[in-house]
A = this chain, B = another copy of it.
Amino acid sequence: VRILLVNPNTTTAMTDEMVASAQRVASSDCEVVGATAARGVESIDSYYDELLGAHAVVTALQEQDGTFDAAIIACFGDPGLDAAREVLDVPVVGIAEASFIAAITLGRRFSVLTTLDRGVPPIEDVIRHHGFAGRCASVRATGLTVLEADSDSALAAEALEREGRRAIEVDGADVLCLGCGAMVEVRERVEQRLAVPVVEGVPAAQVLAEGLVRCGWRTSKVRGYKHPEPTVRT
């Protein structure tokens, strides 16, 4: 089994980390290969950046089509997911979607923790688009930028603990999802302190994608995910 993990931003170091994270939970006969957006943004923090990222994702998938059994879109907003499913035959999963899927098997309601307040509406949009609003307790921002979260892990851990605790105690979450790759490093620490499962999207997506391949299922081509109609594209 061969899984292509596409990083929608242009930071290859992040791609490498995510591939390693996916490979860690893959079964022994499954290889994870990374692809990084050739053009676009260094890090995705807005609707606009998601659009650029979505474009880069679909371009990368088309270029490598035929070389993988399933694909992972490795950015929490799942940019380009519907278009990717349309263009490809093999299964495609997003890390936000995969996080929600893992979360609902571990508790009745989940919360998502993200960086800036501006990231909350797009995450609420993706929750609603995927149909998980009824299982979501809240989306909470730590107020840290990706850079801050990435460079000072003590600060990140503290902020995640604080907002995670509120998600559990005030909003009624049983499970937390990390809505930003820069938070992954402190995942275990937060899990231990708060004593709830803290879901990370990349491994969740890896086992989901690999599982779909093992079962032999491919994207439905009967309605919304039919291959695009022939037209002139420039």
Contacts and interface: CB of A to CB of B under 8 A. Distances in A.
Contacts of A180: none
A48 B224 contact: no
Contacts of A54: 51
A52 B210 CA distance: 29
Interface string A187-219: 000000011110110011001101110110111
Contact of A87 (B48, B93, B121): B48
A49 B233 CA distance: 9
A174 B207 contact: no
A125 B83 CA distance: 13
A63 interface: no
Interface residues of A, number: 92
A97 interface: yes
B49 A219 contact: no
A135 to B, nearest CB: 4
A16 B234 CA distance: 20
A221 B207 contact: no
Interface of A: 10, 25-30, 39-43, 45-52, 54-55, 58, 80, 82-83, 85-87, 91, 93, 97, 101-102, 104-109, 116-118, 120-122, 124-125, 128-135, 145, 168, 172, 174-175, 194-197, 199-200, 203-204, 207-208, 210-212, 214-215, 217-226, 228-229, 231-234
Given A128-B129, A174-B222, 11 more contacts: A25-B214, A27-B27, A40-B233, A49-B231, A51-B51, A51-B55, A106-B217, A106-B219, A121-B172, A172-B223, A208-B208
11 contacts: A41-B232, A47-B83, A49-B229, A51-B80, A82-B125, A93-B105, A175-B220, A196-B222, A197-B219, A207-B210, A208-B208
